[in-house]
Amino acid sequence: MSSKSEYAGIAALSICEALLLAMNDRGLLSEAEVVGVLEDAATSHEHAAAVSLAGEAHLATAELIRAIVAGGNSVRRL
């Protein structure tokens, strides 16, 4: 991955996390719904890994998403 692509990925992740936090803060999505969105995304990548030539990348992506859920980065837990 080139530096430009890497930076674009980091920016996209930051923007998505900020949007999830804002939606939770405004009551548009509950904590459970935010976690559900992230879990759905991780599961999609895990399934894609089984049928894609880029399986390793999909598994790494799923792992990253699950780490975000575990760390609570996208949900302000009390």
pLDDT given at position 78: 44
CA distance 78 to 62: 25
Q: Where are the domains of the chain?
A: 3-71
pLDDT reading at 9 higher than 50: yes
Q: Is the pLDDT of residue 43 over 50?
A: yes
Residue 40 in this model has a pLDDT that exceeds 80 = yes
Burial of 24-50, coded b for 16+ CB within 10 Å and e otherwise, reads: beeeebeeeebbebbeebbeebbebbe
